[in-house]
């Protein structure tokens, strides 16, 4: 439906004598909503997520040994797609689902810094 056909065309800018619409709008303020503060949000985030992800690159037999082969300019880097997989896994876990059965779409991704994995092969926390 073309609502513009219901009213005469308006020439912009409108004159200063044009009446305001805001007095015609009435808001229902009968509902009260709690707004969480920083402490509430911090507690929820701490309970639902872990900020540390550990990788073991210490031996060729570890499940994370594939990371040893990702070398750029002589440095062993954590692969950029790995960050996307970790985000995907966390998203699926937050929804109680298996990430391989949870389709996602990443758009407009920016990775600002590379994570260098130590050459010594110790545990790495991201």
- Which structural domain, as residue segments, surrounds residue 102? 58-119
115-126: pLDDT as tens digits: 887 766 555 555
DSSP string for residues in 70-125:
-EETTEEB--HHHHHHHHHHHHHHHTTS-GGGS-----S-----PPBPPTT--EEE
Q: Do the domain assignments include residue 51?
A: no
Q: Are 75 and 116 in contact (CB under 8 A)?
A: yes
Q: Do the domain assignments include residue 76?
A: yes
In the chain, pLDDT over 90 holds for what percent of residues?
4
Say what the pTM is. Answer: 0.48
Q: Do the domain assignments include residue 79?
A: yes
Number of domains the chain is built from: 1
Q: Do the domain assignments include residue 115?
A: yes
pLDDT at 33: 63
Q: Do the domain assignments include residue 6?
A: no
């Amino acid at each position: 439906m073309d609502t513009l056909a219901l009213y005469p065309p308006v020439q912009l800018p409108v004159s200063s004598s044009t009446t305001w619409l805001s007095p015609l709008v009435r808001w229902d303020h009968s509902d009260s909503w709690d707004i969480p503060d920083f402490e509430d949000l911090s507690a929820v985030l701490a309970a639902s997520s872990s900020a540390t992800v550990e990788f073991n690159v210490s031996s060729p037999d570890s499940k994370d040994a594939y990371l040893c082969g990702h070398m750029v300019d002589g440095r062993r880097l954590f692969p950029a797609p790995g960050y996307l997989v970790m985000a995907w896994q966390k998203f699926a876990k937050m929804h109680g689902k298996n990430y391989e059965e949870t389709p996602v779409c990443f758009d407009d991704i920016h990775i600002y810094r590379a994570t260098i994995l130590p050459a010594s092969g110790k545990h790495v926390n991201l």
